Each structure stands twice: as C-alpha cells, then as structure tokens.
Amino acid sequence: MPIDNAHYHGWQGSLRSPWLATLALVRVALLQVLRRKLYWIVLALGLAQFFLYWSIIYAVTQLDPPPAARERMLEAFGFSAQPQPGRPSGYILFMERQSVVVMILLAFSGSVLVGSDFRLGSLPFYLSRRIDRRHYIAGKLLAIGAVVSLLTTVPALMLFIEYGMFTSSTDYWIDNWRLPVEVIAYGAVLAATLSVLLVTLSAYLQRLAPIAITWSSLFVLLPLLRSALVRETHNRYWNLIDPWRDMSLVGRLAFGDFDSPFERRLALWALAILSAISAAMLVALVRRVRSVDVVE
Amino acid sequence: MNLLRAWTMLFWLSYRRLLWSANTLMVLFPLAGCGLFLLRRRYDRMHNLADAFQSFSNFLILVFVSFVVPVCALAFGTASIGGDREDRTLLFVLVRPIPRPLVLLAKFFASLPLALGLVVGSFLVFCELAGKAGALAGQLYLPAVFYMTVAYVGLFHLFAVSLRHSTIVALIYALFMEMLLGNMPGIVKRVAVNYYGRSLMYAAGHGEGLGTPSWFEPISPSTAAWVLALFGAGGLALALLVFQRREYRDLT
Amino acid sequence: MDLVLDHATKFYGPVIGINNVSCRVAPGITGLLGANGAGKSTLIKLASGQLRPDQGRVLIGRRRAWSTAAKRHLGYSPDLDSFYEDMTGREFVYTMACLYGYPRSEARRRAEEALAEVGMRERASRRLAGCSHGMRQRIKLAQAFVHDPDVLLLDEPLSGIDPGGRREINELLRRFAARGKTILLSSHILVEVENLADSILMIARGRIVASGTLAEVRGLLEDRPLTVEIETGQARRLASLLAEVSDVRSVRIVDETLRVETRNPGRFFPLVGQLVLEHNLPLRRMQAVDAGIDAVFNYLERPGR
C-alpha cells in the first residue's frame, strides 16, 4: 500500500524545543508514582508530621499569648517560627525531620521511575523520539526533584504561610522574608543533590532491593555513624560524612548564617564534597544512559 | 523423579542467585562503613575496659542491631521471593511439581544462612576489631544478634509473599516503624523486633555495667528470646500459609 | 492424557476471565484461538495451575490442575519474556529439568535432547540476556518438554520465530503429538494454527464459541457473510455479472472499486475467479474487508447466526 494511503503525513507545523519534552517526562513520572497505593501510604507517613506541626501552630496562634511565650510554646514541640541566630529555623528542622520518609520514598521512586526503564528495556521508547539523553536525564532529575519538594519544601512553606495567616497582620511574613528563602535554598540543594544521586544509583542498580539498601546506608547509617563519631571523638569534621548534614550546611551557606567561622568552613567543605560527588554521579549517569544495551 | 532432589536443586538455585546478587554486594557497603568506624574509634586502645565496653555496646545497640541486622535480613529475606516476583521468574518454579510450602521453605533456607552468615560473621569481625571489650560483647550479645536475624528473616518472608512492594514495606517497618514504636513509652514497643533484641542485650550487658535507659522497660531475657523465635517461626508459618493459597497473578 | 475444563469460571474482581467453559482437550494438537483479551491466557493459566477456577474444575487427567501431582504431567511455555537472564540457555533448561527431580546426569541428557529438538544445541551456551527473541522462544519450548510431559500448554509459542523456525517447531510438535501427547497451543493468528492443529477451540469474551476439527470449524466459517472489495478496470461489467449470483447479497461501486457482500465466502471466491477468466476481465486486487479474527469471533458468538 502506498504510504499516502495509510494517511501518514509529516507534521506541517514547527516543532517546539525538545527541552519542553522534559516536562512531559516529569508529568508521566509523577503520575507513575502517584497511582501507586504505597506512595500514598509513605506520603501519609511524611505528612503526619506536617499535620502535627500544622495543628500545633494553629493551637498556639489561637491561644494568642505574647510573642515570646508563643515562641517558647512552639520550642517545647521542637519547632521555632522565628529566625534562630546561628541555628536552623523550625522550618529547616521540619524538613530535616522528613529525612527518613524522603529516603524511603526516593528508594521506591528510583526503582519505579528510573530502574525499571533500564531493567525492562523501556529506554528506547524515550530515546527513539526527538529527545536525547540530556533531555531524558533532565526530565528524570526534575521528576525526582518534584517528589522531594512535595515532601519537604512545599509543606515547610505552607507552615510558614499558615503561621503568618493566623497572626493579626502581615508583619510576620515581611519581617521574616529570609525564612522562606532559606527553605527554598535548602529545598533546592536537597532536590538537586538527591535527584542526581538517586537517578544515577537507580540507573546502575535498577532493582528495588539494592537501591533501598544503598540508599538507606547513605541516609540512615551515615548519620548514625556521624553522630557516634562526633560524640565520641569531639571532632566536628565528622559531620561531613552525613549527607543530610552536608545538604543542610550548603543550604545555609546561601542564605542562612553560622554561629562560628568553623561552621562556615564546614559548610564550604560540605559544598566541595557534594559538588564533587554530584559531578562524578552526573558523569556516570551520562555514560549509563544509552538506548541500546550491548550484552556480551 | 525425586522430590528431595528437586527441592535441593531449588535450594541451591535460590542460594546461588541470592549470593551472587547486587544485594550481597550492596550490603557490604554498610558493613564496610561500620568496619571503618570501628577502625577509627579503636575501642581496643581504650584503657578503661568498662568505658570501652559501654561505648562498643552503644554502637552495637544503636547502629548494628538497629540498622545492619534488619538491612541484611531485608537483603536476603524479602529478596528470596521478592526478587523472583520482581523479575517474574517465579512462574518457572511454580509450574514444577514441587509443593508450594516446600518452594517457600527452599527460599527461606537459602536466605537464612546468608543473612545469618553475614550478620554473625560481621558481628564477630566487629567484636574482634573492638579488642577485649569486643570479645566480651561477642560472648554476651551473640544470642541476641542470632535471634533477631532469624526473627527478621521470618518476618520479611511473610512480607515478601503477602505484599508486592515488600522491600519498601520492610524498609518502612525496620527503619521507621521499629525506631518509632521501639522507642515509645508503654507497651506499644512490644510489637517491635528491635525491642526484644535490645532487651536481651541490656540484660546480657547488665553484669558488665551496661546501663538500661530509664524509659526502656525491658522484658525478661527468656521471654524476649521466645518472642524473637516466635517472630521468626510465626512469620515463616504465616508466610507458608499465604504462599500456599496465593495465585500466581497475586505474586507478580 | 486429557485436559478437561468442567464449567470453569474465573473472575478477576468484577471482570470475568472465562465464563462457564466446558471442554475436553484430547491427545493431538489443539489450537486455542481468540482475539486479544478473549480469555485464551486465562484458560491456559487455569490449565497450568497458576490460577484456580472460581467455579467448576480444571483437570489434567484425573488430577486438579492446581495440584502438585498434575504438574508432573504438564509442560508449559508461558507468553512472558522473563528468564534468569544471567544463565545460559543450557543452564536454564538443565536447571528446569533438575526441578523435576532427575539425577544430574539424566537432567543433563534431557536438557541436551530438548535443546537439540528446538535447534538450539549449538547456540545454548549464550547468556539468555543476549539471546534474540526467537532464541528465547525456543529455549522456553525446550524447558516445557524437557521432562516429556503428557500435556503441553504453549502460550503464543510461534510469535517472534522466523518462517524456517516455525516449520521446524511445527514438525517437532507434530512428532510430539504422534506419540499420544496432548498439546494446547494458543494463538490469535488463524493461519498459524490452521497448518498445525488437528482441532480448534475458539474463544471470545470468555466463552468457547466454536470447537471441533478444523473441517467442522471451517464449515461454520464458510456460511459467514463477508464483504469483499474488488479492484478491476471494468467494475460495472463485473458488478452486473455478480448481481445475478444467488450467494451475493449486494453489490456497490465506490470510486471504481466493487464492494460485494456475499452470503457464502466458500463458494464466492472460486466463482469470482471463474467469472474473471470466462469474461477476460482484469483483476487488480481482491480483499476481504472484515476477515480479521475479531470479525470471525463476532460472527461465531452472534446469537441465532
């Protein structure tokens, strides 16, 4: 049959940039994760803490005590709505406390969003289009970044908005504009670092169990070892082996402040370590993403 | 045709696939991390044996049994069936004339020595690295480590046959629920494997000066050992029951 | 040994997989035909003991297909393309033979025989991850009959195999059937099964809509009305000739193409050939427009056809 009879016609209009295809990748990736019940269970675990703080902020602001007393009441629950000189704010602490849920959710997402592309051979479906590996990688990184932000940055910002809404004026938001900027900066560091690490590990390990083991070793074991080493050796450089701590320090490097020059030095080291690891991971990822896997 | 021979082949097949899996390789990383930690801490060079024992015990309780033991059990416990489910190769086993319970038992007995070997082996190596304090801890805590590993492997087999994403559920259970529930006041902590393991360890280390946190409220060592054994055996028994009933489509 | 489905019904939640199916598959080659989603795979999965019927029974000989005892007599080649990818084809078939309990030497001998039967003996040392789709299909077949089963269930066994390979496998299955074995072979391609099967089971929407020998099923199909498109340089002349034929229900001319509806395709096609030759008419193309298997099944399951 002549090809015309089959109604195959080239697209007559002009094609948009393939970089826009990364948005389609993000959309599909989020749908892939969101349609799974387990994701909602883990998300519910993650949001339990959010609702807890939401309720605490609501209760404390409705009691309407003097500002200092209000802050003390919040601190009793391990939260602080005001900037803390030399220390992370309550919003940053909230994001740090999400770490275990973020870690579990990402282990799952890595296998579903990236590992399965390699394991089940679906990579050619992406790379046979007008997009190449750069667009594929960018799409996957953005998708993982979105998953991270949904559990950390977005709820932290919502808590900030909530606190301001329940006070009698907009002064809280105006006076503390640096707090959401810190949250966004820390969130950006979390999203960027975690997405690069996860996409690369998932591209190589592919299956859920090894991804989960490696991921939990990085994000649960290393903080445990860090805490023991710092406590027992009194050497604060050991903080650098904890990726959560590194990301927190780098987030503060941009907009937060430090209680000592040593902390700032530590943050610069953390920046160097995260940059080196992320760069190495990106190189490894680019080498791994190929449409045809040659088996000996 | 001989059922025992078929079962033995299935056992070896499962054992080999677990041994030469990415899980085994990846689980070596946390073990190496712990080894490097101990090499840096040098408990063997501490002059006061009581202090060294206390610190090493804290490492074992907070890091080894809270993280390494569940992760090693997960690497082999959920993967024994979970790996086949993920790869969709379970079908090739289920259409052979081996009764379903025996299939699961072959998987269990293939994963148990690997998990036990890795956990107990690394535990003994870590004790060796910790010198005299380690030797003492090795004698005192070995039963707790053994029972905990068996309990986790049995429990994770139940997860593996019951749930599609058993690895993630096991991870949530071991690193989230156990840490959350095991450290709660009251009797709610009694649902956590970790609680019984720590009860055994605190009781064993008590004579050597290991202090029990005031909020912990440990259970008696014999009860803890029985409950851990029950977790392992009960988990396996329930897994056998579930696996016997499940259709293949529920196992993919 | 027979494969028997006795009022077997299987639900997937609210969706029905197969509905009150009763049939007996006797020794020989039986083709199980159906469109995608018709219930072929459900039937094969019930027969291979992967699923349990919600109602009725599925028996291999006298044993329920779900039981371990039935699986001794069963060989199964699934339609899924998953393997222990790090094994070689030889290791895989050998391992599967060992799972029947054979001693190692016997398992090795059987594996080699099975590999030779499917034409993979020389290529079986390659890792399965690196094998082509056709090679993987052959390995799947080899593992299915490595223990010389009485009942062989083959789910889409010829997909991905080249024509030469198909001939070899057809020969192999015929040899197997000649030894009194029961083979149930599923496909959605009529021609694929036509050349091979002694009898046919046609399934549509979870029900058996036709069964019997190939001749019996073909008889049912011959009475089926069919629309045929004919391209000829003299459309009007051929139309006037066909209008006088009793088996023709209607004739239309659309863009110089004849669109003919016939009551009896079995008699219609030879008749057209005869008319074309007798009247020296040019014939560029003749094509049945609703001859797809879906149309066949729709016809067969229509009440009061």
Q: Which two tokens stand for residue A233?
A: 């050796």
CA-CA distance, B56 to B164, in Å (whole number)? 38
B22 touches chain A (CB under 8 A): yes
CA-CA distance, A42 to A212, in Å (whole number)? 14
Question: Tens of pLDDT along A78-118?
Answer: 787 787 777 778 888 888 888 888 888 888 888 888 988 88
Q: What are the CA-CA distances from residue C119 to residues C169, C193, C287 (Å)?
A: 9, 21, 37
Do the Cβ atoms of B98 and C49 come within 8 Å?
no
Q: Mean pLDDT over residues A47-71, rounded?
A: 83
Q: Which two tokens stand for residue B93?
A: 């086993």
| Centroid of chain to Cα B71 | 7
Q: Name chain A contacts of B179, Cβ cutoff 8 Å.
A: 100
- Across chain B, mean pLDDT equals 90
Please report the pLDDT score of residue A62 as a whole number: 81
Do the Cβ atoms of B27 and A213 come within 8 Å?
yes
Please report the pLDDT score of residue A117 as a whole number: 87
B10 touches chain C (CB under 8 A): yes
Q: Name chain C contacts of B3, Cβ cutoff 8 Å.
A: 101
CA-CA distance, A255 to A244, in Å (whole number)? 17
C243 touches chain A (CB under 8 A): no
pLDDT confidence bin for C231, thresholds 50/70/90:
confident
B1 → closest Cβ in C50, C52, C102: C102
- The 3-state DSSP class for residue C13 equals coil
CA-CA distance, A254 to A252, in Å (whole number)? 5
C51 → closest Cβ in B88, B98, B249: B249
Do the Cβ atoms of B5 and C68 come within 8 Å?
no
| Centroid of chain to Cα A111 | 16
8-state DSSP, B19: H
- Sheet hosting strand C15-25, strand order edge to edge: C15-25, C3-12, C55-60, C63-64
Q: Which two tokens stand for residue A40?
A: 């909602």
- Identify which of B198, B158, B168, B202 has the alpha carbon closest to the alpha carbon of residue B182: B198
Q: Mean pLDDT over residues B109-123, rounded?
A: 95
Pick the residue with more confidence: C240 or A272?
A: A272
CA-CA distance, C192 to C213, in Å (whole number)? 15
- The 3-state DSSP class for residue C255 equals coil
Question: Tens of pLDDT along A239-292?
Answer: 999 999 999 889 888 766 777 888 889 999 999 999 999 999 999 999 988 765
pLDDT confidence bin for B251, thresholds 50/70/90:
low
How far is C126 from chain A, CA to nearest CA, in Å?
9
B62 touches chain A (CB under 8 A): yes
Which chains share 3+ C-beta pairs under 8 angstroms with C? A, B
Cβ–Cβ under 8 Å, residues C144 and C75: yes
How far is C272 from chain B, CA to nearest CA, in Å?
50
How far is B95 from chain C, CA to nearest CA, in Å?
6
Query: In the beta sheet, which residues pair with residue C212?
Result: C200
Please report the pLDDT score of residue C184 as a whole number: 93
Cβ–Cβ under 8 Å, residues C165 and C175: no
Cβ–Cβ under 8 Å, residues C237 and C279: yes
CA-CA distance, C177 to A24, in Å (whole number)? 52
Which chains share 3+ C-beta pairs under 8 angstroms with B? A, C
CA-CA distance, C22 to C8, in Å (whole number)? 6
8-state DSSP, B188: G
Do the Cβ atoms of A228 and B59 come within 8 Å?
yes
The ipTM (two decimal places) reads 0.89
**In the predicted structure, residue B124 carries a pLDDT above the cut 70:** yes
Pick the residue with more confidence: C164 or A245?
A: A245
Do the Cβ atoms of B249 and C49 come within 8 Å?
no
Please report the pLDDT score of residue B108 as a whole number: 95
Q: Please name the residue ranges forming H helices in B42-130.
A: 49-59, 69-87, 90-94, 100-129
Nearest residue on chain C to A120, alpha-carbon basis = C82
Cβ–Cβ under 8 Å, residues B130 and B39: no
**In the predicted structure, residue A237 carries a pLDDT above the cut 60:** yes
Which candidate in B11, B95, B107 is best for mutational testing of the C interface (most C CBs within 10 A)? Answer: B95
Of A242-251, B107-116, B210-219, give the range with the top mean pLDDT. Answer: B107-116
A295 touches chain C (CB under 8 A): yes
Of A123-132, A240-249, C258-267, give the range with the top mean pLDDT. Answer: A240-249
Q: Residue A201 corresponds to which amino acid?
A: L
Please report the pLDDT score of residue C44 as a whole number: 92
Number of CB pairs, chain B paired with chain C, less than 8 A apart: 75
Q: Which two tokens stand for residue A110?
A: 């890595």
Q: What are the CA-CA distances from residue A204 to residues A111, A113, A207, B5, C232 (Å)?
A: 10, 13, 9, 36, 60
Q: Convert chain A into a string of H (helix), E (strand) and C (coil).
A: CCHHHHCCCCCCCCCCCHHHHHHHHHHHHHHHHHCCHHHHHHHHHHHHHHHHHHHHHHHHHHHCCCHHHHHHHHHHCCCCCCCECCECCHHHHHHHHCHHHHHHHHHHHHHHHHHHHHHCCCHHHHHCCCCCHHHHHHHHHHHHHHHHHHHCHHHHHHHHHHHHHCCCCCHHHHHCCHHHHHHHHHHHHHHHHHHHHHHHHHHHHCCHHHHHHHHHHHHHHHHHHHHHHHHHHCCHHHHHHCHHHHHHHHHHHHHCCCCCHHHHHHHHHHHHHHHHHHHHHHHHHHHHCCCCCCCC
Q: Name chain B contacts of C102, Cβ cutoff 8 Å.
A: 1-2, 5
Question: Tens of pLDDT along A141-192?
Answer: 999 999 999 889 999 999 999 888 888 778 888 888 888 988 998 999 999 9
Do the Cβ atoms of A210 and B172 come within 8 Å?
no
CA-CA distance, C145 to C133, in Å (whole number)? 19
B93 touches chain C (CB under 8 A): yes
Nearest residue on chain B to C87, alpha-carbon basis = B17
How far is C243 from chain A, CA to nearest CA, in Å?
29
Q: Name chain A contacts of B85, Cβ cutoff 8 Å.
A: none
Q: Name chain A contacts of C130, Cβ cutoff 8 Å.
A: 295-296
pLDDT confidence bin for A296, thresholds 50/70/90:
very low
Q: Name chain C contacts of B101, Cβ cutoff 8 Å.
A: none
How far is C131 from chain A, CA to nearest CA, in Å?
9
Cβ–Cβ under 8 Å, residues A191 and A145: yes
**In the predicted structure, residue C292 carries a pLDDT above the cut 80:** no
A232 touches chain C (CB under 8 A): no
Token look-up 């997402």 returns A109
Do the Cβ atoms of B30 and A213 come within 8 Å?
yes
Cβ–Cβ under 8 Å, residues C10 and C18: yes
Question: Tens of pLDDT along B66-86?
Answer: 999 999 999 999 988 888 888
Crossing angle for the helix pair A37-63 and A67-76, to the nearest 10 degrees = 150
Nearest residue on chain A to C129, alpha-carbon basis = A295
Question: Tens of pLDDT along B44-70?
Answer: 888 888 889 999 999 999 999 999 999
CA-CA distance, A196 to A47, in Å (whole number)? 24
C76 → closest Cβ in B9, B95, B100: B95
Which candidate in B167, B180, B183, B194 is best for mutational testing of the A interface (most A CBs within 10 A)? Answer: B167
Nearest residue on chain C to A121, alpha-carbon basis = C129
- Identify which of A5, C145, A170 has the alpha carbon closest to the alpha carbon of residue B95: C145
Do the Cβ atoms of A225 and B33 come within 8 Å?
yes
Q: Mean pLDDT over residues C105-131, rounded?
A: 91
Q: Which residues of C touch B (CB under 8 A)?
A: 12, 45, 48-52, 68-69, 71-72, 74, 76, 78, 80, 82-86, 95-96, 98-103, 143, 147
Q: What are the CA-CA distances from residue B206 to residues B200, B201, B211, B212 (Å)?
A: 10, 8, 6, 8
B17 touches chain A (CB under 8 A): no
- Across chain C, mean pLDDT equals 85
Our CA dihedral for B177, B179, B183, B187, rounded to 10 degrees, sits at 30
Q: Mean pLDDT over residues A198-214, rounded?
A: 91
Q: Convert B146-167 into a string of H (helix), E (strand) and C (coil).
A: HHHHHHHHHHHHHHHHHCCCHH
Please report the pLDDT score of residue C304 as a whole number: 52
Which candidate in C64, C93, C99, C100 is best for mutational testing of the B interface (most B CBs within 10 A)? Answer: C99
Do the Cβ atoms of B96 and C52 come within 8 Å?
no
CA-CA distance, C54 to C62, in Å (whole number)? 19
**In the predicted structure, residue B222 carries a pLDDT above the cut 60:** yes
Q: Name chain C contacts of B6, Cβ cutoff 8 Å.
A: 98-101
Please report the pLDDT score of residue C229 as a whole number: 86
| Geometric angle at alpha carbon B139, from B135 and B141, rounded to 5° | 110
Please report the pLDDT score of residue C264 as a whole number: 78
Question: Tens of pLDDT along A131-140?
Answer: 888 899 999 9
Nearest residue on chain A to B58, alpha-carbon basis = A228
- Across chain A, mean pLDDT equals 85
Q: Name chain A contacts of C127, Cβ cutoff 8 Å.
A: 295-296
User: Which stretch of DSSP H or E encloses residue B226?
Assistant: helix B221-245
Cβ–Cβ under 8 Å, residues B35 and B41: no
Query: In the beta sheet, which residues pair with residue C4?
Result: C24, C59
Question: Tens of pLDDT along C26-79?
Answer: 999 999 988 888 888 899 999 999 899 999 999 998 899 989 999 999 999 998
Looking at beta carbons, which pairs linking A172-181 to residues 24 or more positions away fall under 8 Å?
A172/A81, A176/A81, A176/A82, A176/A83, A178/A83, A178/A255, A179/A83, A179/A89, A179/A91, A180/A91, A181/A255
Question: Tens of pLDDT along C122-143?
Answer: 888 999 988 888 889 899 999 9
CA-CA distance, C104 to B10, in Å (whole number)? 13
